[in-house]
Structure 1
Amino acid sequence: MPDSHFTTATETARADRTQQTPPLLEVRGVTKTFGSGRRRLTALDGVDIRLGRGETLGLVGESGCGKSTLARVLLGLEHPDAGTVRFDGTDPFALRGKDLLAWRRRVQMVFQDPFASLNARMSAADLIGEPWRTHRDVVTGTKAREKRVRELLSLVGLRDSDAHRYPNEFSGGQRQRIGIARALALDPDLIVCDEPVSALDLSVQAQVLNVLSELRERLGVAYLFISHDLSVVRYISDRVTVMYLGKVIEHGDTENVFERPQHPYTQALISAAPVLDTSQATGDREIQLQGEIPSPFDVPSGCRFRTRCWRAEDRCADEVPPPVARNTQGAADPHTAWCHFPLATESA
């Protein structure tokens, strides 16, 4: 996939981080548990992430690693048990009343399923304008709302005449464009994209990704982009965070993570991912992970990945791995892995 659609946004985001501009979103040590006693599940365990304005952070990992729980925390749908969340310097969980309502305008979501996330009885115009029922002061007056709907339809590549059509009259990609337009209706600073193209055909995926990239460059909106598809994450993300059983295990600029993965789990994920662009193929054989993902109710001691890791030693069972950071030339952030034996040290 070509990268011309998001070069400017990438450079801007990196410049902001280099100049130590305060982040739009900063999560520190966030923990979230469900249940109690033996049925206590730690969905998030000390998670840290940082997201700048106009930046895309890719969040990857197998099912059950905590990606969706983190998204729900960032949307204010779940309260963390520990840790801090700062959005533009403000703790959203301390807000009440009108202040909380105003903050909710700034964080929106694009859902995974464009078929289930749209009310079949509402027209495209009604779907896009649905957020204005709650946030009445954003766009006032019938004519102003009709004009804004047309503008949003145009932004996502649809026609004015599509405003009065219903979801069953659109293709999957067009429905997802309506979902994106709805997310933009409140002029948010951050959009959480939860597997936004996984239900679409490959050619349609590329079209929707291009729409998201162009909107980021044009509007300066930031994305938290959750996906199982590593080729999609590589295409759209500035930085990548890899999670496993509720913990962040690797983080860094996208190209560094994909070209020089430090954690064995990341290397395994990348080796198993299909490569659409043959110029990005590494030639390495696919790594077949052994065993099943451990139960989140009974996570392994020490390094949580050790039960499936071909490099594990006794130390991995006894000690939680500390972060090992490498300052990579040209990268705005250190490339960090939580591993006793990071792979990158072999060639450093």
Structure 2
Amino acid sequence: MPETPLPDATAADPRGGAPATARPLLDVSGVTKSFGHGRRRLTALDGVDVTLRRGETLGLVGESGCGKSTLARVVLGLERPDSGTVRFDGTDPFALKGKELLAWRRRVQMVFQDPFASLNARMSAADLIGEPWRTHRDIVPTARDRERRVRELLSLVGLRESDAYRYPNEFSGGQRQRIGIARALALGPDLIVCDEPVSALDLSVQAQVLNVLSELRERLGVSYVFISHDLSVVRYISDRVTVMYLGKVIEHGRTEDVFDRPLHPYTAALMSAAPALDVSGASNGEEIRLRGEIPSPFDIPSGCRFRTRCWKSEERCAEHAPPAVTRDGTADTGQEPHQGLCHFPLGAGTTEAGVRPRVG
């Protein structure tokens, strides 16, 4: 029996205002993606639904192998989904060709995890930042325009104009990541996918880079899909959070809702393992120790795919796919509904989608 997808929740303003009337910038619906041949296939994404609005940051969290990076590659147009739809500002990027596809690629850029490996050591900062203009020649047509624009981008990310002529080995890790951010901004994108962008940096440098990203969002209105294992980082920068497990979205909602009152036992376990996070509503502040290992993605458990590690698991978890539940009240306030997939959601006040509220 297939697992119940989380209900679509695209109409709410992530900052708690009135429901948004504009269509989402990114709308991923029912996307599946598998790798391999014949009976030996790995399902990386299984019916994934994700939405992102303009000027918003969506945090993607989950253990390694849960499908975060595969989802990022689908969003970037680097992997074609097996089924489901991807809409970017109402357009299917996988239906585009030629000049239309080239124009769309300007709108979606990426900041990579490792600032040491993602920059060509033989290119100056100016050459690295201006590299996208070699393909998109119409954006900055003349050499004088390119020099001016490089200086502007360096200033925008907190570097000096004189840094344009230095090489990667002359910069610190945080400065290199700023160059990577400037390169991502060179084409004026609407969306930047950040795949673990601060994990290779020291804590103090992480804060500086995160502040740069936050300031750029406020100033330019750019949206982020932010992938990270560091939950404190996700909490700091994200408006909404999506939690994934074995290729499935198992919980999503506003950042404060997911972090302060997690619905899914897996989310609570992630929160309890993160230093300095208060998960008292789920576990009385005690660390939750999961049993067993992550199942093989080639052999996903029946029913609830988390049941083999869950302390709340019962017989029905093996026999039936978990229902979609919504935290009572979160769908009626004009804010982002807090939803999850679980037979035994944590805390009181949840309603199964499409059925009457449970009593007791």
TM-score by length of 2: 0.90
Q: 1:330 to 1:176 in 2, by over 3 A?
A: farther
Contact 1:13 1:54 survives alignment (8 Å) = no
- Residue 345 of structure 1, CA deviation: 2.8
Distance 1:17 1:65 in 2: 33
1:339 has 2:342 as partner: yes
Distance 1:52 1:114 in 2: 27
Q: Give runs of aligned pairs for residues 27-176 of structure 1, distance below 5 A.
A: 27-176=28-177
SS in 2 for 1:22: coil
Distance 1:39 1:285 in 2: 39
Contact 1:38 1:297 survives alignment (8 Å) = no
Q: Which residue of 1 aligns with 2:22?
A: 21
- Residue 344 of structure 1, CA deviation: 2.6
Q: Give runs of aligned pairs for residues 171-190 of structure 1, distance below 5 A.
A: 171-190=172-191
- Residue 325 of structure 1, CA deviation: 1.1
- Residue 332 of structure 1, CA deviation: 1.7
SS in 2 for 1:40: strand
Question: What do the CA deviations read for 1:182-220 (whole angstroms, capped 9, x no partner)?
Answer: 000000000000000000000000000000000000000
Q: Give aligned-pair identity as a percent.
A: 78
**Letter of the structure 1 residue corresponding to residue 345 of structure 2:** P
Q: Which residue of 1 aligns with 2:6?
A: none
Residues 254-263 or 325-334, more deviating? 325-334
SS in 2 for 1:343: coil
- Residue 15 of structure 1, CA deviation: 6.2
Contact 1:16 1:52 survives alignment (8 Å) = no
Question: What do the CA deviations read for 1:149-170 (whole angstroms, capped 9, x no partner)?
Answer: 0000000000000000000000
- Residue 21 of structure 1, CA deviation: 1.9
Q: Which sections of structure 1, spanning at least 5 residues, go unmatched?
A: 1-10
SS in 2 for 1:212: helix
Aligned residues: 335
- Residue 71 of structure 1, CA deviation: 0.3
- Residue 330 of structure 1, CA deviation: 5.2
**Letter of the structure 2 residue corresponding to residue 57 of structure 1:** L
Contact 2:124 2:165 survives alignment (8 Å) = yes
Distance 1:196 1:12 in 2: 26
Which portions of structure 1, spanning 4 or more consecutive aligned residues, are displaced by more than 4 angstroms?
none
Residues 113-122 or 312-321, more deviating? 312-321
**Letter of the structure 2 residue corresponding to residue 135 of structure 1:** H
SS in 1 for 2:347: helix
- Residue 320 of structure 1, CA deviation: 1.0
Q: Which residue of 2 aligns with 1:275?
A: 276
Q: Which residue of 1 aligns with 2:241?
A: 240
SS in 1 for 2:39: helix
Question: What do the CA deviations read for 1:270-312 (whole angstroms, capped 9, x no partner)?
Answer: 0000127xxx574611101111100000010110000000001
User: Which structure has more helix as a fraction of its residues?
Assistant: 1
**Letter of the structure 2 residue corresponding to residue 339 of structure 1:** C
Q: 1:304 to 1:12 in 2, by over 3 A?
A: closer
SS in 1 for 2:84: strand
TM-score by length of 1: 0.93
Contact 2:46 2:248 survives alignment (8 Å) = yes
- Residue 18 of structure 1, CA deviation: 1.4
Distance 1:59 1:169 in 2: 32
Q: Which sections of structure 2, spanning at least 5 residues, go unmatched?
A: 1-11, 352-360
SS in 2 for 1:261: coil
**Letter of the structure 2 residue corresponding to residue 337 of structure 1:** G
**Letter of the structure 1 residue corresponding to residue 168 of structure 2:** P
